[in-house]
Amino acid sequence: MKAASTAWQMNPEMGETLTDRKALVLGMGTTGVSIAGWLAAQNRSAIFADSRATPPGLEKVRAILPAAALSCGSLPDRVPDGIDEVLVSPGLPTDTPVLQDANSRGIPVHSDIDLFVDACNARIVGITGSNGKSTVTSLVAQMLQAAGVKAVPGGNLGVAALDLLAEDADVAVLELSSFQLAHSGELPLHAAVVLNVSPDHLDQHGDFESYAAAKARIYAKAGTAVVNRDLPGPAPVACAHEVGFGLGIPSPTDWGVINRDDGQWIARGSYAVMPVSNLQIAGRHNLQNVLAAFALADTLDVPLDGLVVGAQLFPGLPHRMQVVASEDGITWIDDSKATNEAAALASIESVEGRLILIAGGDAKGGELRELAGKLKERDAFVIVLGRDAQLFLDQLTGSCDVHAVSDMDAAVELAAGVAGTGDTVLLAPACSSLDMYGSFAERGDHFAAAVRKLQ
């Protein structure tokens, strides 16, 4: 922890009141490791359990809490005796037997986000949505930093929330997944946004309504609700203020786009803030992301000029519409972060000309019907791979030319064979990577490496 003068002060009485409380921690990944550090700082004892035989954070947890009991390979069906609190990692379904047992016995269940907000005296901005979360989280932090604010990004992006407590900062910008929100209480956020909601993670949430409801929880105790005016989505509940953003002409208090003689401008109400052409990131979906970032950052009453500088300098994030090669008139784009159908559709819409699409992986219960309709409208050649390759073949046959391959190297080789001058080869999987890779980043890196071999 930083010195007590920072904005991240912990309650000095917290250690005394929590020392005797024993926790059951479910999961030994990045979140579990951060919880271990938190428990160690509180001098608390714990039992850790993970369904994986060799969890990625096992050795780190063991080093941080040598006395903790560690169980790998399965989760208990019941909360062990002597446990006062269950701390859960994201991604664990709410109907997991041990969580149901805890709820039936009145044992508190908390997330790392709950622990973080209880300990943090800084203002917290929360960002969720099916797509664009990481971009907006990173962008808001950069814009605030450019405006002279000590801001740090984290949560579901990069640094675990509890690890941010070691930073000297005045604002925490948190990316929050549907899983984190489902397991968390009502979060007292300074400002919050649901960027968009489209079917995703239905294999774990059960249905779209449950998934959307988890996203909507971000507004429960937010001081300002930032709302996407262009898309239907969760309605803010009992927020003190509401600010909107969208690609149309904004109302006096909203953020939007206005047309001037010199082109399109980002605007707050009728006030022109900056030319759209000054952005380094392209596409309608990224323009929406920038508008959301301005709406969030502006709630902190910081100099607008600084926010503009931060927006203009933002280069985008890896594996998000990232050009990895442009040779012989063919453009190769890595959008491995397009892990659901809606994200892939946004990427496809931003590409002009003939498209060679590489897609596939774990569709997470998605049906891909919109993708089939979109590809039918254009000149497209689709290459599919991964666990749900057959689903793509079933849905896309008749809409476009579609072929299945065994792996990414084969996909890139086939794409190179059919691509010609003016074509774009786009990796936009519309699926999770976890059936074949450790992360979407690993998948994108494999794609880029395979493309480089062609040069």
Q: Which residues are catalytic?
A: 133, 156, 201
Asked whether 167 and 34 are in contact (CB, 8 A), the reply is: no
Task: Identify whether the C-beta of residue 298 lies closer than 8 Å to the C-beta of residue 268.
Answer: yes
Cβ neighbors of 290 (< 8 A, separation 6 or more) are: 139, 266, 279, 281, 311
**238 in Cβ contact with 216 (< 8 Å):** no
Distance, in Å, from the CA atom of 274 to the CA atom of 24, rounded to the nearest integer, reads 50
333 closest CA partner among 429, 433, 195: 429
Which is it for strands 151-155 and 85-88: parallel, antiparallel or unpaired?
unpaired
| Whole-number Å distance between alpha carbons of 414 and 410 | 6
Cβ-Cβ contacts under 8 Å for 90 (sequence gap 6 or more): 31, 111, 156, 177, 179, 180, 183
Do the beta carbons of residue 393 and residue 405 sit within 8 Å?
A: no
The pairing of strands 46-50 and 69-72 is parallel
Assess contact for 320 and 135: CB atoms under 8 A.
yes
Residue in 87, 138, 95 with CA at minimum distance from that of residue 113: 87
35 in Cβ contact with 198 (< 8 Å): no
CB under 8 Å to 309, separation ≥6 — which residues? 146, 147
- Please answer whether residues 447 and 376 qualify as being in contact, where contact means their C-beta atoms are separated by less than 8 angstroms: no
Backbone angles phi, psi at 432, to 5 degrees: -65, 155
Q: How many angstroms separate the CA atoms of 351 and 355, rounded?
A: 8
Nearest Cα to Cα of residue 374 among 362, 386, 366, 382: 382
Q: Which residues pair with 50 in a beta bridge?
A: 72
CA-based end-to-end distance of the chain: 48
CA gap 334, 444 in Å, rounded: 6
Phi and psi (nearest 5°) for 310? Answer: -60, -40
